[in-house]
Each structure stands twice: as structure tokens, then as C-alpha cells.
Amino acid sequence: MTEAPVPGPVPRLELGEWRERYGVVAGITSRGDGVPFDLGLAGVEAPVGQVMDRWRQLRQSLPEFTGITFSRQVHGTELLWHEGGSGLVIHEGFDGHGTAVPRLLLTVSVADCIPVYLFDPVARRVALLHAGWRGVSAGILGKGIELLERHGSRVENMLVHCGVGICGLCYEVTSEVFAACGVAKPGGGKGGLDLRAVLAEQAAHRGVDSVSTSQFCTRHDGERFFSHRGSGGKDGRQVAYVGLLV
């Protein structure tokens, strides 16, 4: 299962099966044609005013949702649980969210790191995580699973999707990063680390039976997605999102 383009003025892709089968909207924005559809709040390339206009466009493109929640991420493992919300709310210092509230859209920004979508179709809970190597090594996926469990979910019912991010061929890191993520160190001191494969293994180890992975790489598919590595740190950000329709 992977993301497919959605028609409309906002460039984005979604997991169509989740929407059609479960009533869950899970997707990610993309670069788009012409002026890049940069949603990064750090102001690397696009002025903040333009970025906020694009956030409003994103909200308008998903009229089913009355609220959008976001946090300025810190590559940690702290997560928020939301009981409601309206408009655009921006938090500080969290790398993921969860909710059981319909029509509340959870978002994270990415440009190589992996957006991890968690959904329990039985208890109707969702979570969305921002997983770079620091988050992966610190167990952010396990924290996301535990967040849903504390709010009534069972791990055996969960679906996990490791979304659009950099692939193992493009993500060269040192042996220290391999060790931090619990992966055998490569020869020569460096190698390509597949974060999505690590996350999928962690999910299976925690008892998740259904794990899927996106086919897209932010660097390989740089004409479609923003890539921090591919741009030498100058690129913008896309936003991953998930929310319950009902």
C-alpha cells in the first residue's frame, strides 16, 4: 500500500484505501508544480506569510476537518493527546500526536524523516509521528503505540504505515547512527540506513500485524518532494496528516 495523488489545488497524496475502507484521511503534501508548496514554518526558503497562506489552502482543501494541530518538532519522543480543537493550533516541542476525535487533523512536517501513521480501526484512534534517526533510536514508535494503548487501543488491532521519507540507498550515516538504531554497523564506518525498515521491524516486535511502507523516497523523488539532504539543507517542508472522518 502506498500514497496516490489527489486532484485539486493543493499538491498532495493519500492512502486511498484508508479513506475508502476505514473513513480515515492519511496523506502528505508534495512540492507541486511551479512555486514550491513549502509548508515549513522555520522560514528556510519561503516567507512566513506565504507559508501561512499555504496552510490555509491545505485546510480549505480538507473541508471535512474543523481543526488542524501541529507542533514545532525537536527530534524527540514527546507526544500530545488531543481531546478536541478548532482552527490551526501550533504547539512547541512535540514530535507526534494522537486523538480519537473525528474531524481533527493531526500534522507533522518532514523533508527526509519518516512520517509514521498509526490507526486502530476497532477503537477508532489515530496517531502521527515524526521519526528521524534520533526519534527511531529513542523509541518514538513504541511511545506512539503506548499512547494509543493508554486510550483504549489494542496493539493487535493497529495498522502502521511508514510514509514518504528518505530511502536506505540515499541515507548514508555513520556506524554510530546504525548502533543507536539497533542495526549492525556497516564496514568502512558508513553505510545506507533504511529507517522505514527499522520502524517496520520495531512495529512487528511490538505486536503490530499490519505494517506498510511507502514506495517514495524524498531524495530519489526530489522533483515531487522536499529533501533536506538532497538540497543541502536549503529545501522546504511537506506536511503529513491523518484524521478521522467519523
- Mean pLDDT over the full length of the chain: 95
Read off the pLDDT of residues 50-73 as tens digits, 9 standing for 90 and up.
999 999 999 999 999 999 999 999
- For residue range 140-159, what is the model confidence (pLDDT) as tens digits? 999 999 999 999 999 999 99
Q: Tell me how many domains the chain contains.
A: 1
CB of 128 closer than 8 Å to CB of 96 = yes
CA distance 164 to 231: 17
Concatenated DSSP letters of the chain: ---EEE-SSS-EEE-HHHHHHHSEEEEEE---SSS-----TT-SSS-HHHHHHHHHHHHHH-TT-SEEEEEE--SS---EEES---EEEEEES-SEEEE--TTEEEEEEESSSEEEEEEETTTTEEEEEEE-HHHHHTTHHHHHHHHHHHTT--GGG-EEEE-SB--TTT-EEEHHHHHHTT-PPPGGGEEE--HHHHHHHHHHHTT--EEEE-S-BTTTTTTTS--TTTTTT----EEEEEEE--
* CA–CA dist 236, 39 (Å, integer): 7
At residue 165, does pLDDT exceed 90?
yes
Q: What is the pLDDT at residue 240?
A: 98
Percent of the chain surpassing pLDDT 90: 91
- pLDDT tens for 14-57 read 999 999 999 999 999 999 999 999 999 875 667 888 999 999 99
Residue 119 belongs to domain spanning: 4-244
For position 233, what pLDDT does the model report? 83
CB atoms within 10 A of CB 8: 11
CATH of the domain at 119: 3.60.140.10
The string of pLDDT tens digits covering residues 92-107 is 999 999 999 999 999 9
**123-140 per-position pLDDT tens digit:** 999 999 999 999 999 999
Q: Give mean pLDDT, residues 63-89.
A: 96
